[in-house]
Amino acid sequence: MKKIAVGIDLGGTKIATCAMDEAGNLLEKTELPTLAKEGPEKVIERMKRSVYEVLKRLDLSLSDIAGIGIGVPGPMDAKRGRVKNPPNLPGWKDIPLLSIMEEEFNIPVFMENDANAAAIAENLFGAGKGVKNFIYITISTGIGGGAITNGRLFKGGDGNAAEVGHMTINFEGPVCGCGNSGCWEAYASGTALTRFAREGILSGRKTRITDLAGQDEVRAEHVFAAAKEGDEFARELVEKEGFYLGVGLANVVNAYNPERIAIGGGLTHAWDMFYSTMVEVMKTRALPANVEHLEVMKAKLGTDVGTIGAASLVFHKE
């Protein structure tokens, strides 16, 4: 059996592609800008080019590769291999990505929701290794998730299960990017944190956040940096972030009863600032029996989790 797979992590801003062996070792990787506004045809051409670039660097041909795995932003139709209409990829409406890539490369191609692929990666090689009931959650611009139940990826009917960021935690809450009101993502994502910061600044709160941002837009990193300096408003925001994360985690815990939850994504750079509040709120609000043996930890694979997960689809087919 061929022991090398190619993984493509398709994101709204970048296309990350790797070659990986069956043990999870990255042999080569490359990144190209997605340039999503140019539409699906040109983005797909860049995806194809990234595969050829990785193979060229390793002096390999397609005949040396076991297959290609692709992690795509949801929603998707896993049964038909189509990308439905992800909000960060304009013009991607019911795109038959799987068949397009199969036709180009003529080797096995596998496609999965990007958060599901990341969950597989962490379960095989990272924070969830050896855990049969495991949840991976990413907290960044948005909130996504993937669930491993009884040692297998829980996909749901169309491959869109564990969209935990779109659990409603306040039916009268702010409008989320998905169009619904009060989603967890609208309260606890990096986007939500910066929205709360801007709202406070506009209401007249004095804060170091504005000084740190300067002429740039306020970002989550500015909030965390100001909080580290002791800024009162920033510290309130970080406390609120931990609280909302804990509320959402309690729902996840009650729905899935996992043995372990691993959290990744951009906001985990400030892990120590919100972890204790998050876990305390989760334990207060979840069913006691469901948190008694639960572990919550930071994910281990960092920014490579998407490509490792995509490549893992080739070796660990469901």
pLDDT band of residue 85 (cuts 50, 70, 90) is: confident
Instruction: Provide the whole-model pTM.
Output: 0.92
Burial (CB count within 10 angstroms: exposed 0-12, middle 13-18, buried 19+), residue 207: buried
* 212-251: pLDDT as tens digits: 999 889 999 999 999 999 999 999 999 999 999 999 999 9
Ordered DSSP codes for 38-72: G-HHHHHHHHHHHHHHHHHHTT--GGG--EEEEEE
**Reduced 3-state DSSP string for 83-115:** ECCCCCCCCCCCECHHHHHHHHHCCCEEEEEHH
Length of the chain: 318
The span from the CA of 115 to the CA of 254, in Å, is: 20
Rama region for 156: left / alpha / beta (φ>0; ψ in -120 to 50; rest): left
Q: 31-35, 85-89, 104-108, 204-208: lowest mean pLDDT where?
A: 85-89
What superfamily does domain 129-300 belong to in CATH? ATPase, nucleotide binding domain (3.30.420.40)
Identical fold between 4-122+304-315 and 129-300: yes
Q: 83-97, 122-136, 234-248: lowest mean pLDDT where?
A: 83-97
* Residue in the block written with tokens 């959290």: 263
Separation of CA 134 from chain center? 15
Indicate the domain borders of the chain.
4-122+304-315, 129-300
The span from the CA of 99 to the CA of 80, in Å, is: 9
CATH of domain 4-122+304-315: 3.30.420.40
Percent of the chain at pLDDT above 70? 99
* 158-209: pLDDT as tens digits: 888 999 999 999 999 999 988 999 999 999 999 999 999 999 999 999 999 9
The span from the CA of 196 to the CA of 174, in Å, is: 11
The long-range contacts involving 163-171, CB below 8 angstroms and separated by at least 24 positions, are 163/74, 164/135, 164/137, 164/248, 164/251, 164/252, 165/189, 167/248, 167/251, 167/252, 169/244, 169/247, 169/248, 169/251
